Chain A
Amino acid sequence: MGSAHPATARRMRGRGTALLLLAATTACRGRVPLVTLEAGPAPSLRLVAASGVRINARLKPALELDGGRVLRFDSPYLTPDSAYFAASPTAAPVPPGGPHRGTLRASVCASREHFCRSVELAVTW
C-alpha cells in the first residue's frame, strides 16, 4: 500500500521514546481504517481493530522490521472458535530508539462481509 505520510512521520519522530504508529498512504484519502496500531504497555505495540472488524488469530499479524526481524502480534484471548482475537493483540519487545521503519501485515475480516482481506501498511516510528 505504500509508505507513511512523510509530514506525519517528521512530526512523530520528534516525540522522544514514545511509541507511535503511522498510517498508510491511504491515510490521506479520507477513508475509515480497518486496524490501528497503538502504543501498548512499554515496550510493546497493540493492534486495534475498527468496530465490526475482526483480526484473524490463525494468521497472527506481523510487523516486518527493516533488517529482516519479524514481530508477531498475539493475545491469549480468542473467540470461541479460535478464529479471531477477542482482545487487541500485542507485539513485544519493540526495538528502542528510532526512527524505525517496517511493514505491518494483518488478515482482517469484517463481520458483515464474510470474507478475509489482507492489510499491508508501511509504518514508521
Chain B
Amino acid sequence: MKTRTSIVVGAAVVLVVAGTAAIRPAAPRGGGAPAPELTNTSWLNSDRPLRLAELRDRVVLLNFWVFTCGNCTRTVPSLVAYDRKYRDRGLTIIGIHTPEFPPYAGEHDKGNLARALARQAITYPNAQDNDRRVWDAYGIRYWPSFVLIDKRGIIRYTGYGEFHVDDGDYREWDRRIQQLLAE
C-alpha cells in the first residue's frame, strides 16, 4: 500500500512540475486614464461612502490590500507615514480591502477589518470591496497594489508589492506624491 501511494503521488508531482503556472506579474491598469469611480457601500474610518468625484483637487492613493496578507500589513506603516505627512497638504489615502478567499475565511467580516485597522493604527478611510468590483475595475491582480490619482481624477502611477519606510520604493512613491501635490 505504501509503495502504491508513493507511485501515485510521484506521478502527480511530476505532472504538476511539468505544469502549473508561475504567473508573470502585470501592473494594474496603466496611467493616463480616468480613474474608475469607487462604488463601495461599506466603509470604515469614514462616516459615508467616498466617491472620487468628490475628491477632485486632492491627490488620491488607493491601496488594494487584505489584512491576511503579510506583504500588505508590512507596507501599512509606510502608508500611515504618508497619511501623517501629506493629509493636510492634499493627499487622501483610501484602503480598498479586497478579500482573497470566500467568506468562510473571515476576510469579509467588517468587525475583523475594524480590528485590523485598530491593530495597525490606520485612520485613513477603508472600503470593503467584498465583491471585488473595484478590484476588477482597476485590473488589480496582486496584494498589495497601489494606484495614484491626480487632482483631476486621472490615474498617474500604478504599482504593486511590499515596501518599507525609507527604502527605495518608499522614496519613489513619496516623490510621486509630492509631484502630484505640487501640480
Q: How many A-B residue pairs have CB under 8 A?
A: 147
* Interface hits, A66-125 → B, CB 8 Å: 70, 81, 83-84, 105, 107, 109-110, 113-118, 121
Complex Cα distance, B12 from A107, in Å, reads 21
B20 at interface (Cβ–Cβ under 8 A)? Answer: yes
B129 at interface (Cβ–Cβ under 8 A)? Answer: no
B68 at interface (Cβ–Cβ under 8 A)? Answer: yes
The reply to whether A114 and B5 form a contact with Cβ atoms under 8 Å apart is no
Interface size on B, residues (CB 8 A): 41
Query: Which of B20, B102, B162 has a CB less than 8 Å from the CB of A121?
Result: B20
Complex Cα distance, B11 from A39, in Å, reads 12
The reply to whether B19 and A28 form a contact with Cβ atoms under 8 Å apart is yes
The reply to whether B21 and A29 form a contact with Cβ atoms under 8 Å apart is yes
Complex Cα distance, B89 from A95, in Å, reads 59
The reply to whether A20 and B69 form a contact with Cβ atoms under 8 Å apart is no
The reply to whether B162 and A114 form a contact with Cβ atoms under 8 Å apart is yes
Complex Cα distance, B101 from A64, in Å, reads 11
The reply to whether A59 and B9 form a contact with Cβ atoms under 8 Å apart is no
* Interface hits, A2-37 → B, CB 8 Å: 5, 8, 11-12, 15-24, 26-37
Complex Cα distance, B107 from A16, in Å, reads 38
When distances are taken between beta carbons in the complex, the residues of chain A under 8 Å from B66 are 59
Closest beta carbon of chain A to B90's beta carbon, Å: 28
The reply to whether B12 and A12 form a contact with Cβ atoms under 8 Å apart is yes
Complex Cα distance, B144 from A121, in Å, reads 22
List residues of B whose CB falls within 8 A of some A CB.
1, 4-5, 7-9, 11-13, 15-23, 25, 66-72, 100-102, 104-105, 107, 141-145, 160-163
List residues of A whose CB falls within 8 A of some B CB.
1, 5, 8, 11-12, 15-24, 26-39, 42, 50, 56, 58-60, 62, 64, 70, 81, 83-84, 105, 107, 109-110, 113-118, 121
Please name the 8 residue pairs, one residue from A and one from B, whose CB atoms are nearest each other, closest first.
A83-B70, A27-B19, A33-B20, A59-B68, A114-B161, A114-B162, A26-B21, A115-B142
